[in-house]
Amino acid sequence: MIQKVQKSFRSEKIYLNICIYSIKSRFSTLFVQKVCQIAEWQWYQHNLAQCAAYRMVRCNILRDALKNLCNAQQAGSRQAIIRPINPVVIEFLKQMQATNYIGDFTIVDDRRGNKCVVNLIGRLNKCAVISPRFDVPVADMEKYTNSLLPSRLFGHVIFATSQGIMDQTEAQKRHVGGKIIGFFY
């Protein structure tokens, strides 16, 4: 690998500047330093410091939490740890707990975004987030429910309404539309 890098990087230093970011994300710092030494590139430390400044952020905390629950359930775990959490995740978990898809959950304050320990019952088959969060009027709730759930009486679709986060049956009883958040069954 180093010989290939040596041949391709000796001539084009601009190309090296672009490639150093992609190399840094895949390989260790020592490998990147060796590549830079072979290519006779003197100011690589500055760019490595810039690479370290770019960090990956969580785009959708709810999606990460629900994917973690599904993976733990499929692996046969009795508990799942979710971190970080926000109020939407907590309300979604309350809806799942109210319909007996999960057991108790406890919120642990670790001063970094909190985490949640969820006891799994073994009833959860799939849970997912709908993105983007479409606006759903009351008349279209049945259409979304039929398209997302495997059966009419099996599973729940969660909506964020002006009266709080609730499933499709409660939203239809209250005659309130809202944004679709996700589903579980």
Tens digits of residue pLDDT in 91-135: 999 999 999 999 999 999 988 889 999 999 999 999 999 999 999
pTM given for the model: 0.70
pLDDT at position 22 over 60: no
pLDDT at position 39 over 70: no
Arch. (CATH architecture) of 61-120: 2-Layer Sandwich (3.30)
Residue ranges, CATH 3.30.1370.30, the chain: 61-120
The share of the chain scoring above pLDDT 70, in percent, equals 70
Cα–Cα distances in angstroms (integers) from residue 80 to residues 25, 89, 94, 98, 125, in the given order: 29, 14, 15, 18, 15
Which pLDDT score is estimated for 3? 47
Q: Domain 130-184 belongs to what topology?
A: Dna Ligase; domain 1 (3.30.1490)
Q: Of 23-27, 31-35, 121-125, where does mean pLDDT reach its minimum?
A: 23-27
Which pLDDT score is estimated for 25? 52
Residue ranges, CATH 3.30.1490.10, the chain: 130-184
State the pLDDT confidence band at 38, using cuts at 50, 70 and 90.
Answer: low
pLDDT at position 172 over 80: yes
